[in-house]
Amino acid sequence: MTRPPLSVITACRACGAPDPVTIHAFGDTPLADRLRDPARPETPDYRAPLTLCHCTACGLGQLRETVAPRILFGADYPYHSSVSPALQAHFHASARALMDRLPLAPGDLVMEAASNDGVMLAPFHAAGHRVLGIDPADGPVAHARARGIDTRHAFFTAALAREMAAEGLRARIFLANNVLAHVADVTDFTAGIAALLTPDGLAVLEVPWLLDLIDGGAFDTIYHQHLLYLSLTALVPLFARAGLVLNDAEPLAIHGGSLRLFVGRQPGQSPRLTALLAREAARDIRSPDLYAPLLDRMGQIAQDTRAALLRLKAQGARLAGYGAAAKATTLLHLLDLPPGTLRCIYDKSDWKQGLAMPGTDIPIRPASALHADDTPDALLLLAWNFAPEIIAQNAPYLARGGRILIPVPRLREITA
Ligand code: JHZ
């Protein structure tokens, strides 16, 4: 086992209160998205402790460990947002809604931190607006630039934001989708937004919501990239410390349950944000007891899924996975299946095919190969958050007698 460079927190990542309470220690787990290249067997197959904890002062879930970001999001980062058609449709619709909500004047700049392959900037660019992405991952940055999206190849930090501000750059719209939860120094990140947002600007961030994680049993979204498990109760003071105001929050179904946050410089709280904060208060969001149903559900899902797969295997079924998602690493670690139980994992992404899952070395094959001669009898759906879309795409597979096992929010089996 090789351990990556990592550090450990002793105080809350947001409010600084001492000693967040340990909720669950997953032990040494492989690093999600660090896919194995069979042509480079010497590359370390890292494992690092993964410990979920909770700040009882501000109500923020978080990891105790911080694996060095360059290990998690560097040269080989395989996640390209545009691969999932549903995600692409989501970001395009979101961009159009924003253009309606905040009509942009000529010269206004739309900036995005962790812009990945430019999936959400593309519609602004196509509408003739100035856009600028910022992202640290080599492959997605090259992809974004190839489609004409101007992108800085860097991690977004307050220091970078101040450099950009000194160049005269200011964002009328500042986007940050699925990145706040990945940031080790979240105070620095929000300070960066404050340094760049125009006085009348709007920052729009999509983040996973802690209550959806718990209620949806989405324990597999806990992995080293996700340092924060966000509650609105913790977010309001976090933005306030940066001189920003969380004005509104919109619940979204995407990624198993997220929030779209609207942050600006003017005071005010929308009625729906007030209602969501009241929901968190009613659930006692600062209490570690909040997680009890999640831990129960996690145990049940792991037990049921493992038993179902081993039973099918014993009956001679050919088994495979579908969707080499980051979250699959946590689920597979928990399932601890005998080697060879899943012959492969099918995935649409050109950036994942031919590689193998960290920790288990399960090979990733093109989704199109699913319809070849050696069709598996059953598929474990690891990208369960896109279940409707993936089931629809694979209707011919089901029609030929295939089965799809969906582990989250609780194990169920889909057949034709
Ligand atoms: P998907 C990602 O996590 C990355 P992941 C990141 N860690 C993050 O924070 C969260 O999102 C929010 C494939 N697929 O999007 C594509 C098909 O093959 O659920 C992906 O490899 N066929 C930054 O990786 C995977 O499944 C399809 O039809 O857990 C889905 O990964 C579809 C729809 C997807 O997120």
- Ligand 1 proximity of 369 Cβ (cutoff 6 Å): no
Q: Residue of the nearest CA to atom 30 in ligand 1?
A: 325
Q: Residue of the nearest CA to atom 10 in ligand 1?
A: 178
Q: Residue of the nearest CA to atom 7 in ligand 1?
A: 326
- Ligand 1 proximity of 225 Cβ (cutoff 6 Å): yes
* pLDDT per position as a tens digit, 304-316: 999 999 999 999 9
CA of 220, closest atom in ligand 1: 29
Contact yes or no for 243/194 (Cβ under 8 A): yes
Q: What is the pTM of this model?
A: 0.96
- Ligand 1 proximity of 392 Cβ (cutoff 6 Å): no
pLDDT of residue 75: 83
pLDDT of residue 32: 98
Residue 64 alpha carbon to ligand 1 centre in Å = 24
pLDDT of residue 374: 78
Q: Which residue has the tokens 């949806």?
A: 216
- Ligand 1 proximity of 86 Cβ (cutoff 6 Å): yes
Residue 346 alpha carbon to ligand 1 centre in Å = 12
Ligand 1 pocket test: pick from 332, 386, 406 the residue with the most ligand atoms within 8 Å of its Cβ.
Answer: 386
Q: Residue of the nearest CA to atom 14 in ligand 1?
A: 323
- Ligand 1 proximity of 383 Cβ (cutoff 6 Å): yes
- Ligand 1 proximity of 385 Cβ (cutoff 6 Å): yes
Low pLDDT (below 50) residues in the chain: none
CA of 385, closest atom in ligand 1: 19
Residue 383 alpha carbon to ligand 1 centre in Å = 6
pLDDT of residue 74: 78
pLDDT of residue 244: 98
CA of 179, closest atom in ligand 1: 9
pLDDT of residue 1: 80
Beta-carbon contacts of 37 under 8 Å, excluding residues fewer than 6 positions away, are: 43, 76, 354, 355, 356
- Ligand 1 proximity of 351 Cβ (cutoff 6 Å): no
- Ligand 1 proximity of 213 Cβ (cutoff 6 Å): no
